[in-house]
Amino acid sequence: MPPTAAFDVAAQHRGGARRHARTARACRRRAAILGRALPSTRCPVPEAQAVAHDRDEFLGHPKGLFVCFFTEMWERFSFYGMKALLLLYLLKYHLFGDDAGYDLLGAYGGLVYAIPVIGGLLADRYLGMRKAVLLGGILLVLGHIGMAFEGEQARIVAGEVVRDEGALQVFYLSLALIIMGVGFLKPNISTIVGRLYPENDPRRDSGFTLFYAGINVGALFASLICAFLGETYGWSYGFGAAGVGMLAGLVMFVWGQKYLHGHAEPNDPDKLRERVGPLSREWWIYLGSLGGVAIVWQLIQRTWTVHGAMHIIALLLAVWFVYFLVTQCNRVQRQQMITLVLLIIGVLIFFTLYEQTYGSWVTFTDRLLTKDLFGAADNAYVPALPWAVYALAASPPLMIAALMASDRGRGDVAKGLVVLMGVGLFVAIAHDIVLVKQTAGSLTFLGAFFIVVLAPIFSWFWPWLEKRGLNPSKPAKMGIGLVFAGLAFLPMVAAAQYAGASDAMASVWWLVLAYFVLEIGEMCLSPIGLSAVTQLSVARVVGLMMGAFWLATAYSEVLAAGFGKLASIEVAEGATLDMAEAASKYSDLFWLMVWVGVGSGVVFLLLTPLARRWMHGVK
């Protein structure tokens, strides 16, 4: 998936710096759990700590982790479910041309990855993580409810496209609400996970691994449910399912507050309550978020504004960076900062390639690939709904029941409920992949599927290499990841050439192979993330460089849209798709992506020895 894991890395660094200052408060919270008075400067005795420890943990981790897991799972379910449908909805229902559809997709993606920089800062300084997540969740629910309103389908009258402008305005407003909601929720739910663990807790990494699994489970089920419903029964059903999922995540988060033990509260509540004019600072933030929705509502309709702003910001950052290197850095700092920017550029290139999965790969699949993985269309068995609907709907009550059973000391019952939930999810996925005919949007599940499959392998593989002194450096992993990202487009080239030569749909298994290779590339990049920013940046500008990292990710969405437009297909009214012409355009785009990925990867590999020296010991 896109760089969601880097949010988790950021959470670790943002949460760790303030941990010692919260020691006294943590002790008082544990005292409250035990129901006894303790001196404010002393922690509970070891026996009391053990009792609190048993009550507050499940499966070896804080119970708050599972609350965050399910909140994030549902948020990603809603986000990727909507994203899998977005481009197809624009092209097929509102009859956007390919160029306009790609432009809107790029503007939306760019804003989604830029706004969390602001949401994270506001939560850190004023709002606190709990209130930021609640605000983000409410905005997301409202946005997904709005997306379920279709209005009248666009039609062509006398050669002109006539659209329901009122429905389009609701659509744009819904996108704005989702963008702002992600901005407040996404960075802060990850930060809460980081705060659940004491400093240097050895379980921390495995906790984030579980949390990251929640991200990918949500993304996996999103495509299988939302995209399938949207393309099979109607767009409003797919978007509505995404909204119901986000509401479930919000309910789970509110219910599970007792397991967070105050870790998500504002750092300075008095500062938040302080009045600034007629209102408190907290209410100004809420009003500001609504003002931000209004601004984004207008921006998203003028995609050239968003794209142009991204270009300008990139130029300004480049100018500032050169100035900072020349005037503010010594030799070691200069070399480390150059290496950092090189890695950020690598991330930008990778996700420019990766985001084709929600752009040109989706339209190519829709137009030139078969959709049936295992011959389900030839069988008499046609399920009314994917089984994933039932399994995912059952997972929150099962998890809540498991945590409540654990609270009452019924550990065996709690574990049994979790096993039942896991078996149900596995059976549902297997059923839906094998027996349900897929759609162009639902096949985006392949990205999350291969992450789930490959993540355990790579989590073993990197330490195995490390023990033997063979673990590649960050620049080398970046180069390897980019090479694989480029190679992932070769199966797509083969599929395009087959479709063009035979005037028939190419096999969907070319797409499966492409996703497999692409996700190997992501597994190579995933250890880099924001940890490189904190390790290589000059300390006084680390916040700015983190912002630059996220803006680079946002900029990759804009660049991905620009590349996708190279394969835009415009079919005249009453005409049918010219498969040979379409296949030729897609083939040219995919070949370009091959050379961009492989070429930039080779450059990174050639620069690796120099970059390692310039990192000055940073691993």
Q: Tens digits of per-residue pLDDT, 338-380?
A: 999 999 999 999 999 999 999 999 999 999 999 888 876 666 6
- Higher local confidence (pLDDT), 198 or 177: 177
- pLDDT tens for 388-445 read 999 988 988 998 999 999 888 888 999 999 999 999 999 999 998 888 888 999 999 9
pLDDT of amino acid 35: 42
Main-chain phi, psi angles of 148, to 5 degrees: -75, -10
Q: Are 241 and 147 in contact (CB under 8 A)?
A: no
- pLDDT tens for 1-45 read 555 544 444 444 444 444 444 444 444 444 443 343 343 333 444
Q: Label each residue of 315-343 as H, E or C.
A: HHHHHHHHHHHHHHCCHHHHHHHHHHHHH
CATH number corresponding to 306-371+438-568+578-618: 1.20.1250.20
The CA-based dihedral angle spanning residues 64, 66, 70, 75, taken in that order and rounded to the nearest 10 degrees: 50
Which of 223, 140, 241, 224 lies closest to 184, judged by CA? 140
| Cα 597 from Cα 348, distance rounded (Å) | 11
Residue 292 tokens read as 């931000």
pLDDT of amino acid 380: 66
Q: With bands split at pLDDT 50, 70 and 90, how would you rate the model's confidence at 257? A: confident
Which of 67, 449, 54, 400 lies closest to 257, judged by CA? 67
User: Angle at which helices 4-16 and 204-222 pack, to 10 degrees?
Assistant: 150
| Cα 123 from Cα 187, distance rounded (Å) | 9
Which of 585, 583, 473 lies closest to 524, judged by CA? 473
Q: With bands split at pLDDT 50, 70 and 90, how would you rate the model's confidence at 128? A: confident
Provide the 8-state DSSP code for 162: E
Give the residues across from 61 on adjacent strands. Answer: 58
- pLDDT tens for 223-235 read 899 998 999 899 9
Q: Which range has the worst mean pLDDT, 287-296, 308-317, 542-551?
A: 542-551
| Cα 437 from Cα 435, distance rounded (Å) | 7
| Cα 218 from Cα 241, distance rounded (Å) | 13
pLDDT of amino acid 529: 67
Q: Please tell me the pTM assigned to this model.
A: 0.86
Fold of the CATH domain 60-301: Growth Hormone; Chain: A; (1.20.1250)
Q: With bands split at pLDDT 50, 70 and 90, how would you rate the model's confidence at 573? A: low
- pLDDT tens for 295-316 read 999 999 988 888 888 888 888 8
Residue 531: Cβ within 10 Å count: 17
| Cα 153 from Cα 164, distance rounded (Å) | 7
| Cα 253 from Cα 66, distance rounded (Å) | 10
pLDDT of amino acid 307: 87
Tabulate helix, strand, coil % of the chain (nearest 5).
80, 5, 20
Radius of gyration of the chain (CA): 24
Q: With bands split at pLDDT 50, 70 and 90, how would you rate the model's confidence at 603? A: very high
* Res 517 pLDDT > 80: yes
* Res 194 pLDDT > 60: yes
